[in-house]
Chain A
Amino acid sequence: MENSLQNTHVKLLAFDLLSLTPTPDPTIFSRLGKLLLSRVEILGTITSRDYKPNKFLKFTIDDGTGSVSCLLWLNHLNSPYFSRRDPSTVRLIANVAAGFAPQIKVGVVCRVRGKIGSYRGEVQVTVSDIVIEKDPNMEVLHWLDCMRLARKCYDVESKLN
């Protein structure tokens, strides 16, 4: 039986994230075949940016171990996916996302939380929120956190099973 950390934003280095394997459920990914994950937190430098106004913003985050493709949706106001939700909430979400877009610039260090997905066979993160980190020490702390969590938590969870 696989253990699950689906409700947690696991902190993974890019190489680790890119090595996740999909499961039959497109929202769930498996780490080393033993730990089920859905959400992730990554941190790195933005290396590319592809902006489609009112549609999406696609960008790449490089943390030194790999590059992860991220997608920030900007189509909340005209997407049928949100049509059933409270319009004011949708507006809020849309505004928040629109607020994120100009912050995403090539070269900045960015912390991204989001859902793990895949696009054309590649792991891709659907962005929930971003934080631009101005302190360079945050990058080091993230690496160390990833290592500590892998050691103390994710690997253990995997081993238990």
Chain B
Amino acid sequence: MEEKVAVLTVAELIHTGRPLTGTASLHSDLNRPVTPTVSSNHRPSPAPTNSDRNPKVLTPLNHPAFLLGTLTIKSSHDNCIKFKDISAEVCCDILDFNVRAIGKKIYVTAWNFIPLKRGNGFLEIIKWKLPDSSSVLTGCSRATTFDSFPLISGSAFVNETYTSKASHRIHGAVESVSPVSIVPCSNPASLTGSTNIQGFLVRVMTCECKLCSSKENKTTQACKVFTKPVFVYFCGAASCWHPVMIKLSGHVITISGLKKKLVFIAKEESQLMFVTVENSVLHVPRLSEKWFPVSRTVIKGKGECGVYTGVVKGVYMRGMIVELDNEVWLLLNDKLLSVPHSLREGAVISLRNVHFVNPRFPWAKLLILGACFKTSIIVESFSPLEAGCYRNVESQSLLGKFVETLSFSARLWALLVVSCIRKKFCGILSEKEILGSKHRKGVAQMYASSHLPSSVIRARHGVFTELCKHESCGCGNEPYCGNLKLVLPISCFTYHCEAKWIKMLLQSDSDQHLSCENCLISSLSSSGKSYSRSKRRIFPSEDMGIVLLGSLKVSPYSGRLQLVDMTGSIDVIVPDLSLNWSSNSIYEVVDYGLIVEGITEVLDQLVMPGKELFSCRSIFNCAPAGRKENLSFIVHFHMSKATSRNLPFYPSVDRTNDLKEFGSGAFHLIRVTHKFPLLQKFQGDLVIANRSSMFVEAIILPWSLALDGKDGSKHSTKVLKDQWSQAMEHGAGEYYQGHVPGKRHKTDYASSGALTSSSGVDLGDVDYALNTCCHTDSRKEWKCETLNFPLEIPCFVTVRSISNSDFVSSGILYCAKSHVDVPNLTAEKVLLQFNSEDSLKYQLLQIGGYYIIKHHIGDPFCSIKDSDNVSCVKALITSKTHIWSLTYSSDEVLMNNKSSHDPSPKYSSFSSCKALAGDQIDFLLQRVAACSLGCCSDVHLHLSANAIDMLKLNLKKLEQDFIKPAVRSEEASNISPCSWNTVNMSVPLSIPTDSNCLFPEGNLVSLQGDVIALHAFDDNYDDVFVSCEELGDAFQLRFSQELPSSCIHVLVDHQLVKVFGTLNEHVYLSGFGAGVNATFHRILEVGGSNSLMLTSVSFIVINSMRVVKEPDVDKFSELLWNSDTCNKDSRDSISSGLISELAPCLNSEPMRIRCRVVAVHFLVLEKKNRLCDDLQVKTHSSTHLFNIPLACFVLDDGSSSCCCWADAERAATLLRLHEQLPQSAFESSGWTLKWVATDNNAWRSTVYHIERILKKYDRITVKNYGSMVDSSCQNLSVSVNSENALSCSDENLLKFIISNACFGTFWTLVASSMDPSALRYMGKQHLNEMEMTMHSMQNIWAKQVCYTNPITEARNVFQELINR
């Protein structure tokens, strides 16, 4: 073989330009298909980049070859060891490094070559040897056990006899090595006056013994107790030893010929250290000695320093972040850190002095390894992959500097945020805008710095201080960052949600079966199958720990509102979204609810995602995550709680047009009375056009708003005091006059004239409106006896706009119907028609809300008013029609605010105030701002208290006249066994009560309540739906395909109501399901039993959503139980007693007993992996990864003992799994604590250990063959159903856990006697071949287990004793 081995030159490798691996001893596989040769001139492949996520294995050279060259060290920017041969020089890294090789010719017999973009390339020396070992070993050393190297090459080697007073020697172990840094230094000796000194610090742990500290000592020292830290400053030419010293960290060395100097490490701080001089010599023992610190700190994840060895899984963000193993993240973003080229994906690296941080983020479980100036990275094994080299590019950007000042957890968070924001806005913004530059902050930095508390920002002091005063510089003391919320790209967010949903469903599997026992499911599902086997979960944002950031858009496909970024979109429900929302704003949503819904058929195919739901890798990688199409995600939030973050990069939106549109003129006031669902087109129906339209029923109020036009800019409105106060006085005056009987009222428009003339803006529209509507004012006179209000009400108007330029204006609310007698003021009904392109407007209008629509000449609202004969007219709302939501209030607050300098008691702000002072305007604006937190109207009217009373009175009267509520018939309410009292009825229509009508009869009502459950019906809905047959017949006439298909259980004032109907036609009903609070408008009462029906005009509004918590479910289940099975005893009435009193009869009532566990008879623990099939009602926030199908305990209360059977949570409670294990558990089991990326105290919890053990074994059965009456004489036998044999420590720990269950205090149990047949069944199922003798004790089933409250119990017993 030897003669075949070719000698390669470095130049040849560089010339190939591709990654290669080669060896001098290539024995096999010579006939590989891939046979690149070095000399062949093939196309150079592109250098591996970060984007290459699946790097190939390095291409092997097809013939044996070695390299011959010299290892050199010299000062360079990358601080690498160089390999130089006759042809060229490259950076290199060596395994099995030996200092002796420096400066020597070596044979490189196994190597990897990685071409670099900058520079020639990089050589990884896997195996090497010195050509002639014997000749070099004693090179420059007289002693046989040490090799000595002058630190400054070229200087004469100074032998041991050289001693001077200035010369010092240290012997010790290299503890840490700082990066190379440059110190600007003024040197008077130098000609230039100043020079920069390059150098690095080494912290060496030395021995304090007399022998070691004496100058005359020899290098052959035996001391190994290194406790005293000293610093050696390798400066000037000696700084080229940096890569060698890194390799020597942890090794014992001796350096002689050092000078002791006081070195300034900060402005006013100095440190005594040893400095290398010309004749300093490094001595390295030939048999390398490794040194480990004596006191090994316990790693808790709070920033402690330690050693970590792991495999590089990925390198991200230009080498700033390295993923090791699984979710262990190494942060390397200090620009000074020296990262070896060989830190490539696939390499095994060892980190010394790295900080361990468990960030405790709610959104991810991970471990951070924070590198500081003490950290040294040593590659233990080179990567066999073609992954590229990374070099942390020295970045001078503000972002880089900002990130360097953060604590480690915050640093990772900030890097994630940067990565996420880059992805979210990659198409909209340039890289520079996102990341910033040297002098300008980028968007990512602005976002991150606005969210980080000041506690996470660390002052940086430079290399010297941070190494010398490492303990005090703060990197070993990690502040808590667990409350940092992550902003995710929407595509990642949906993926994350999906994983969370699946995990939650799988976990709640067995709990489903339990809840059946509570009769909840059975009572609900008795009436039909669960709604399309749909699984639905609502996650509150607190559980997610994720912030949403994006802009709002209407999906062109679904017409639904979505939150979008560049990566994706998610449907949103924003109940309080302004009709004039801005699609250009970026909103940050922190407080939201997420609804995830999917079909169980899909669920069955899903596999449990990896252990970690969330992986930072997916963010750095930007791997397009596959999403299941059958899952729907809806985010529900309130605009009032979202923050509009108009990040400065967005071109400022020109909102002036919108405001101009609003600015001045006349507006119609409408009130939305009903919204019709999107109509389904029936076959042969010609009435409804092909183009789908949506209709909203509204009434036009007899009031209009005339607005004083202003330019719309914030604070621009200096309300002209005289005119305004005149107007106010006038209005109020009129009001007073109106109350004086017999006085004649005359409308005077001087006020409005003054108003308009003062505005200085063209108010053509207002004038026109006023003139057209009120042109007869001069001849308008009526008797004031019938007049209860003035014709016009002056008011302030505050307008909330999205661009935060709220403004105040003055306006007049006037009666539009001037030619009709005021007392008979009536409103007109109007049907607002929306085309599909304006569907969002339709979606945003709220039933019961007031709106204003800008008046235009000839708009349908005016024509309605003119034509008295028409009772209902259709008005088409186009995209040009502007609608603003309106609220009104009295300005009492305004008056109170003013009252300090205005003593007049009433109407002071109007009557005697001469000016609306600037502070009042501010105050109004503040009110708007404050208001926007609660309610979200676009326009708010501030009226005087009396005016508002009048207005309310009038509106109430209008509603009474026009919106007649249907009254529930006496019979109907009598029939109903549990009648609900407070249904909010506002029904403008009522179904004709003609008995011959083919349609179901009844009143249309509105009701609001909490939706508890939703079920789908098959064709048999006989037993539940009282009048369903009749209804079905009626429906078949026309709605043949539209049979009521679902049943909604709604809780209205603690009463359960069923609403039947089809939900399909409710197109915009996204997010509807269990857990929402909804209002059902115009649903049909179809008789008794609290049954209502959705009709084709019914409309469902989702008011709020919430997570159904366990206590609620219990409440509901109790409620359902009560409603279904009438007069069952409530839990409170369960009598307490003694075990000896338990009746052995079958149908005995449950009893409450207080007892202690004496022994565990039998126990089965299993890992959760089955899927659930039943309707999900319960949501468990604290579900475990295991289940207890059955357990049997021996209980004793002093009167007798019994066998108590329990499962799931009850068994877990009796086993005390929720409590902490005593320390002795670990001592007795021999279980040792290993570092785990979880909460600090998690390992003390019993649940943690059960979960840990069950990960290895699917099912564990424990049987007690010993005493059933003596806790200390149990003989437990543990068996597993898995291929893995149970380890001794696990078995011991399990036994301890079970014993520990018997050393607890009292439990209060609700239990009942067990049927012997049930007992036999359970025995057959779980106790194979009845191997255990069933004890003659009484058998009971635990229904409820809880801790005992001794004082309550004591009171009860005392009461019992004195009552006898």
Chain A interfacial positions (CB closer than 8 Å to B): 5, 7-11, 39, 41, 85-86, 88-89, 91-93, 95-99, 111, 113, 115, 128-131, 133, 135, 137-138, 140-141, 144-145, 147-149, 151-153
Contacts and interface: CB of A to CB of B under 8 A. Distances in A.
B1228 A133 contact: no
B951 interface: no
Contact of B1303 (A86, A131, A147): A131
Contacts, number: 105
A98 to B, nearest CB: 7
16 contacts: A9-B1158, A86-B1275, A89-B1266, A92-B1299, A95-B1296, A96-B1303, A97-B1272, A99-B1222, A133-B1305, A137-B1351, A140-B1350, A141-B1350, A149-B1198, A149-B1199, A151-B1364, A153-B1199
A140 B1358 CA distance: 10
Given A141-B1350, A148-B1357, A39 B1270 contact: yes
Contact of B1358 (A5, A7, A97, A144): A144
Given A135-B1350, A151-B1364, A96 B1272 contact: yes
B1304 interface: yes
Which are the 10 A-B pairs with shortest beta-carbon distances?
A95-B1228, A99-B1224, A137-B1350, A11-B1198, A144-B1357, A141-B1354, A7-B1269, A153-B1199, A128-B1272, A137-B1351
Given A130-B1303, A144-B1357, 5 more contacts: A95-B1228, A96-B1272, A111-B1305, A129-B1272, A138-B1305
Contacts of A141: 1350-1351, 1353-1354, 1357
A96 B1224 CA distance: 8
A130 B1304 CA distance: 9
A153 to B, nearest CB: 4
Most buried by B among A91, A98, A151, A153: A153
B1302 interface: yes
Nearest to A111: B1305
A98 B1272 CA distance: 12
A95 B1224 contact: yes
Nearest to A153: B1199
B1 interface: no
A63 B1295 CA distance: 33
A109 to B, nearest CB: 12
A149 B1360 CA distance: 12
Given A99-B1222, A128-B1272, A147 B1361 contact: yes
Contacts of A41: 1156, 1198
Contacts of A5: 1200
Contacts of B1354: 137, 140-141, 144
B1276 interface: yes
B1140 A153 contact: yes
Contacts of A10: 1198
A147 to B, nearest CB: 6
A8 B1292 contact: no
Interface in B1305-1364: 1305, 1350-1351, 1353-1354, 1357-1358, 1360-1361, 1364
A131 B1304 contact: yes
Contacts of B1200: 5, 8
B777 interface: no
Contact of B1271 (A111, A113, A137): A113
B1227 interface: yes
Nearest to A41: B1198
Nearest to B1357: A144
A149 B1361 CA distance: 10
Given A9-B1196, A135-B1350, A96 B1357 contact: no
Interface string B655-695: 00000000000000000000000000000000000000000
Contacts of A153: 1138, 1140, 1198-1199
A66 B1303 CA distance: 25
A147 B1288 CA distance: 46
A131 B1266 CA distance: 22
A130 B1140 CA distance: 24
A141 B1296 CA distance: 29
A10 to B, nearest CB: 6
A129 B1357 contact: no
Contacts of B1138: 149, 152-153
B1199 A152 contact: yes
A88 B1295 contact: yes
Nearest to A131: B1305
A53 B928 CA distance: 77
Contacts of B1268: 7
A118 B544 CA distance: 62
A98 B1224 CA distance: 9
Interface of B: 1138, 1140, 1156, 1158, 1196, 1198-1201, 1222, 1224, 1227-1228, 1266, 1268-1273, 1275-1276, 1288, 1291-1292, 1295-1296, 1299, 1302-1305, 1350-1351, 1353-1354, 1357-1358, 1360-1361, 1364
Contacts of B1302: 129
Contacts of A93: 1272
A92 B1276 CA distance: 10
A8 B1196 contact: yes
B1270 A128 contact: yes
A92 B1295 contact: yes
Nearest to B1269: A7
Contacts of B1201: 7-8
Contacts of A144: 1354, 1357-1358, 1361
A50 B589 CA distance: 66
Contacts of B1364: 151
Contacts of B1227: 95
A88 B1292 contact: yes
Nearest to A103: B1222
Contacts of B1198: 8-11, 41, 145, 149, 153
A7 to B, nearest CB: 4
A151 B1140 contact: no
A111 B1348 CA distance: 15
A61 to B, nearest CB: 16
Contacts of A7: 1201, 1268-1269
Contact of A128 (B1271, B1288, B1291, B1361): B1271
A115 B1224 contact: no
A9 B1198 CA distance: 5
A111 B1271 CA distance: 14
A86 B1295 CA distance: 13
A152 B1224 CA distance: 39
Nearest to B1194: A7
Nearest to B1275: A89
A131 B1306 CA distance: 10
Nearest to B1199: A153
Nearest to B1337: A7
Contacts of A131: 1303-1305
B1360 A148 contact: yes
Given A128-B1270, A128-B1271, A129-B1272, A88 B1199 contact: no
A148 B1364 CA distance: 10
Contacts of A129: 1271-1272, 1302-1303
Nearest to B1274: A89
A142 B913 CA distance: 76
A48 to B, nearest CB: 23
Contacts of A91: 1228, 1292
B1303 A92 contact: no
A86 B1354 CA distance: 42
Contacts of B1156: 9, 41, 113
A11 B1291 CA distance: 34
A92 B1358 contact: no
A103 B349 CA distance: 47
Contacts of B1350: 135, 137-138, 140-141
Nearest to A5: B1200
Contacts of A128: 1270-1273
B1335 to A, nearest CB: 10
Nearest to A149: B1198
